[in-house]
Amino acid sequence: MNRSLSFGFFAALFLGLAGSIASAKDTLQYRLSAAKGPYFLCDDRVTEDRWDIERFVVKPQRHEANPLIVRDYPWEGSGPHMGGSVLFDPEAGLFKMWYSVFDREAYDRKGPFSYNVCYAESKDGVRWTKPMLGVFDYMGSAQNNCIRLGTDKTQNIDVCLNPQPRRYRGRFLAIHNQKGGIFVSSSDDGKTFRRLWPETPAIGYHSDTHNNFVFDEIRKTWLLYCRPRAYAGDHKRRISLTQTRDLSRWPHERTILVPTETEAPEFYGMAVFRRGDLFFGLLQVYDRATGRLHCELAWSCDGLRWSQLPSHPAFAEPGLPGAWDAGMVLLAENPVAVNDELWFYYGGFQKNHNAEDNPCAIGLLRSERDRLVGLRPSSKNPGYVLTRPFKPSGKRLMVNAKIEGELRAELRVDRNKNVDGWMLTDCDPVRESGFARELTWHGKPLGQCGLKEVQIRFELRDAELFTFDLEEA
């Protein structure tokens, strides 16, 4: 499914986004000049055409030690349910996690802090500790791991390493739901936060989901995903977006994702992250009648227009009946890159969304590096993929692929003409899987072709191709 919205309608509202995209021409040449790879072959800016090829989503695998974080203290209510962030802090050499908790008793009596945010840390990302921070008063004691962000309650948080330290103070930036709206805070250590603008919310209403923000380093723009204020039905479970270059000033959000006729009628939320020059969305698809919720993968070149596979395969779904996460799974917005894997932390619920008493904990899903959406032959015949044109001078062609058979490539120029010495029969076949396997022609790297502009035509024989990259020779 490809959801497209009119550029003209949003030009004024989205900081001239249409003009910036149009000037970029949506070509691979633009991508190479603007950002580093890897280049995902599910991205239509990268691929010109596919023949006898199917795309597929790769489900991450549950960690054998799950659940990693469970309820240990009374202030954790029904248990940790994610609703937060996980990242690796290189300065401290630690994985850091901010997770949400829910107190049903306080919620029923409309008491303060029925929702709250807690902090945990880990040296390896698997074994976690909950340090007593001494910053939040719970039942007369500050000996707890709660973060103090608001004056009434804090429901869900999104934390990132500050990409603009000269503009905003603190090593960490965060947005969080709080009475009065969505606020922006910062922190030097991830444990003590302060609002950047104490009385001014980024969005002046309660979005009631795991909102998240992402920094687009190309356009120097912040994108914030939340629920809309305007909606046609009886609930605002849709995906909306607001963008800004100044965290203190946000324009009105606009809905960008609405379920189609083939989908469950509500989108609970969407966590968004970047890999290479592509946005990925972890779309939460919710069926109110059954209370079931699963996650699907979406991707976008600009954070506004989103695509999915038309079959809507699940990326992450609840566990087996009776398991601790059998009811729902909700992923943190940003995976952590660990060696050759991407680690997705998630909140698992024992029961579905309709249950009032719903124990929860936090687990881990692991994917192989950048093997999120792949291409493979759709039959027993070889499959072919043609890239957009780009400049090959001084480059080496590296592929991220799983191979049972073999992978070859050839160069095309001037509207599909072959190049002597750089055809499929000249290519040294790659027969082993790897995250960065080089393709050469009679031992020569791509950069020695002597051409100003080329397209690559990959041939897949019993092989799966995920990304390619153009490294300096």
Are 111 and 178 part of one and the same domain? yes
The pLDDT assigned to 8 comes to 35
Say if 4 falls within a structural domain: no
Tens of pLDDT, residues 422-451 = 999 999 999 999 999 999 999 999 999 999
CATH number of the domain that residue 83 is part of: 2.115.10.20
Say if 211 falls within a structural domain: yes
Are 338 and 313 part of one and the same domain? yes
Q: Which residue has the tokens 């976690």?
A: 128
Question: At residue 98, does pLDDT exceed 80?
Answer: yes
Are 336 and 220 part of one and the same domain? yes
Retrieve residue 381's tokens.
Answer: 């015949």
The pLDDT assigned to 185 comes to 96
Say if 10 falls within a structural domain: no
Rounded to two decimals, the pTM is: 0.92
Say if 321 falls within a structural domain: yes
Are 337 and 465 part of one and the same domain? no
Say if 27 falls within a structural domain: no
Chosen domain end from 346, 369, 392? 369
Between residues 392 and 150, the one the model is more confident about: 392
CA distances from 140 to 136, 143, 192, 254 (A): 9, 9, 19, 43
| Tally of structural domains, the chain | 2
Are 277 and 130 part of one and the same domain? yes
The pLDDT assigned to 264 comes to 82
Tens of pLDDT, residues 371-391 = 999 999 999 999 999 999 999
Domain that holds residue 415: 35-57+374-472
Chosen domain end from 317, 346, 369? 369
Say if 30 falls within a structural domain: no
Say if 351 falls within a structural domain: yes
Are 379 and 451 part of one and the same domain? yes
- Close Cβ partners of 137 (under 8 Å, ≥ 6 residues apart): none
Question: At residue 406, does pLDDT exceed 60?
Answer: yes
Chosen domain end from 331, 347, 369? 369
- % of residues, the chain, pLDDT over 90: 78
Are 281 and 409 part of one and the same domain? no
Tens of pLDDT, residues 188-224 = 999 999 999 988 888 888 888 889 999 999 899 999 9
Are 361 and 388 part of one and the same domain? no
Q: What is the mean pLDDT of residues 165-186?
A: 94
The pLDDT assigned to 29 comes to 55
Say if 170 falls within a structural domain: yes
